Amino acid sequence: MTTNPLFQHPIISSAELSLEEINLILDTAEKIKQQPMPDYLRGKLLASCFFEPSTRTRLSFEAAMTRLGGQVIGFAQADSTSTKKQESLSDSMRVIGKYVDALVLRHHAEGAARLAAEVCDKPIINAGDGANLHPSQTLLDLFSIRESQQRLENLHIAFVGDLKYGRTVHSLAKTCARYPNIRFYFVAADALKLPEHICDFLYENRIKFSFHTDINDIINRVDILYMTRMQRERFEANEFNSIQTRYRLTVDTLKAAKPTLKIMHPLPRVDEITVEVDDTAHAYYFQQAENGLYVRQALLALLLRPEMI
């Protein structure tokens, strides 16, 4: 029996995973999607520790553990914990780790998951630490790209909308850049352009990329169109209305797209993708959200059982 390299391994950042480990997670998720394993983690207990609100991430992790036969305890908001009594995150994680086999943590503070992994003797999965990292989102995005395009190399990928503050964009771009022959198109208003440190990373790794201000300029070139929500509070009302129109994806925009183009979005969406797009063959964001269940099952299976599936 081959021991998997992720057994008891904290998942803090996708950048800390080797390509072999990433591909192992994706392959395991594919196997679980094709053939459910309802008893695989029977007797295991997961702590779902969400100090910040979450819908898809929290519920998909809890569903993933339950569908593998395990059980879940936890909380969905900080107000229901001893944080209100000024207990430190470090102490909370030390104690909760004594009750369970693994912990999923979402916290508003950058670096919270790394701190938890340092003090807790059970594996921690980072479910988002402020504007910093969200590795399971990156992994489910990779899984969805591979599933929809049958590859993770030789792809043209466009990111649209909030490229400045969107942690999903930053993490996915840096991870996709590790695969051969990737070309990026970054489509955003000047106020939401990609941060310089991400650009520097892409330059250093000799990744081809370009900046654009109109989706129509790139729609006929890309295999993946990754849309993001723009945050109204970052603009004056008139400025936001102008930008919102320019970065709203409609059925008409898709007339020039490749037949194989797939549209992704980390959700929630507001109105950056019109509902009419949902009925096109290009829409893939609901499948992408569903894939979060299989990728998170794969993570839990690999962290909590030493063998490979």
Where in the sequence numbering do the catalytic residues fall? Answer: 56-57, 85, 106, 134
Report the C-alpha gap between 232 and 251 in whole angstroms. Answer: 23
β-bridge partners, 155: 182
Helix (H, G, I), strand (E, B) or coil at 47: strand
CB–CB of 199/164 below 8 Å?
A: no
How far CA 110 is from CA of 106, 177, 284, 306, in Å, comes to 10, 24, 30, 30
Question: What would the two tokens of residue 251 be?
Answer: 């059925």
β-bridge partners, 249: 273
- Residue among 48, 107, 129 at smallest CA distance from 300: 48
CB–CB of 171/198 below 8 Å?
A: no
